[in-house]
């Protein structure tokens, strides 16, 4: 790797690589890795690293429940990370939590900022959903009863797949029964935002991007969760989106989850913590009305 390279150049390269690893690191990486190591694998069969497109990041993991509900509902989870960080492997704990309740689960990777900006990551989600619909027989899943769940930036992605300035051809649209948005940004100006600005073209006004402005009537159940102590995403995002959904006649409910923050709220879905927080119970209560347990 370092053949014919001077020692000072090797040192500079090592320092550069170390700086990049440090820049990519997030403290919650350790938390998710720890959760995953402690998570049982007994409730699912895993088909990992399935290609839904030709590019390296266009990969997904399919967790098939060993005790599926009769309606075979499928959860598709889109991770957060300010559109610049995160990986499907970080969320084994979430897949386990829902597969033990009878849901099949898909968790996907998508292209990240700043190399890729809006709408690249929405394009990836649409591509993945269409792939799942087309390959459902081979993957031994069903897209007839879909639940889209997103956390933080992932919530934006999920909402934008449905409500976007670009009319996406989404083959499984009629099968989407519920959307769960967890601590999502749906109505904000990314210009000047240190976390969001690298993921968008700041020359384009946010009014031409935010899903808030493109809501259309449908029969989807929208379940919007807020972390009580969210210091990153303003709660006006959720309340604005909720109001807009209601204005066009869509079903939407907002739930504030006590004792959670922007990042910790997603960890409370783990089987290790779900009994101590309301997050999973709130979601399951809503989904059980759509897909009754066996």
Task: Map out the domains of the chain as residue ranges.
Answer: 26-290
pLDDT band at 7 (very low <50, low <70, confident <90, very high): low
For residue 36, what are the CA distances in angstroms to 39, 42, 165? 5, 13, 37
User: What is the DSSP code (8-state) at residue 233?
Assistant: S
Q: List all residues 6 or more positions away from 124 whose beta carbon is below 8 Å from its beta carbon.
A: 53, 57, 58, 108, 109, 110, 111
pLDDT score of 24: 43
Q: What is the pLDDT of residues 96-128, one digit of tens each?
A: 999 999 999 999 999 999 999 999 999 999 999
Element (H, E) at 121: helix 120-134
**Region of 183 on the Ramachandran plot (φ > 0 left; ψ -120 to 50 alpha; else beta):** left
Return the CATH superfamily for domain 26-290: Alpha/Beta hydrolase fold, catalytic domain (3.40.50.1820)
Tell me what the mean pLDDT of segment 150-161 comes to: 98
Q: Contact 227/236 with Cβ under 8 angstroms?
A: no
Q: What is the pLDDT of residues 17-34, one digit of tens each?
A: 444 444 444 545 677 888
Q: Which of 276, 204, 218, 266 is nearest to 77 (CA)?
A: 266
pLDDT score of 6: 54
pLDDT score of 32: 80
Tell me what the mean pLDDT of segment 243-257 comes to: 98
> Would you say residue 1 has pLDDT above 60?
no
Give the long-range contacts of residues 133-137, CB within 8 A, separation 24 or more: 133/171, 133/172, 133/175, 134/171
Pull the structure tokens for residue 238.
């959720």
In order, the DSSP letters of 29-45 are HHHHHHHHHTS--TTEE
| Cα gap 269→177, rounded to integer Å | 20
Pull the structure tokens for residue 207.
């009014």
Average pLDDT, the chain: 92
């Amino acid at each position: 790797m370092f053949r014919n390279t001077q020692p000072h150049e090797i040192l500079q390269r090592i320092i550069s690589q170390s700086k990049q690893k440090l820049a990519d690191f997030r403290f919650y990486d350790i938390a998710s890795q720890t959760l995953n190591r402690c998570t049982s694998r007994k409730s699912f069969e895993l088909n990992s690293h399935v290609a839904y497109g030709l590019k390296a990041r266009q990969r997904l993991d399919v967790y098939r429940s060993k005790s599926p509900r009769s309606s075979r509902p499928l959860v598709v989870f889109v991770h957060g990370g300010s559109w610049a960080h995160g990986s499907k492997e970080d969320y084994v704990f979430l897949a386990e939590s829902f597969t033990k309740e009878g849901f099949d689960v898909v968790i996907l990777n998508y292209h990240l900022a700043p190399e890729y900006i809006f709408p690249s990551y929405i394009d990836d989600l649409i591509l993945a959903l269409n792939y799942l619909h087309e390959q459902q027989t081979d993957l031994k899943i069903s897209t007839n009863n879909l639940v889209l769940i997103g956390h933080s930036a992932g919530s934006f992605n999920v909402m934008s797949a449905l409500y976007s300035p670009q009319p996406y051809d989404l083959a499984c649209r009629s099968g989407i029964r519920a959307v769960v948005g967890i601590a999502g940004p749906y109505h904000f100006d990314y210009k000047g935002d240190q976390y969001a600005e690298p993921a968008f073209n700041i020359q384009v006004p946010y009014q031409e991007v935010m899903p808030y402005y493109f809501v259309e009537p449908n029969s989807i159940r929208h379940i919007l969760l807020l972390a009580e102590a969210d210091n990153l995403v303003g709660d006006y995002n959720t309340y604005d989106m909720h109001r807009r959904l209601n204005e066009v006649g869509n079903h939407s409910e907002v739930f504030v989850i006590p004792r959670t923050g922007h990042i910790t709220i997603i960890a409370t879905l783990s089987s290790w913590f779900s009994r101590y927080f309301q997050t999973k119970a709130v979601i399951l209560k809503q989904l059980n009305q759509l897909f009754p347990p066996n």
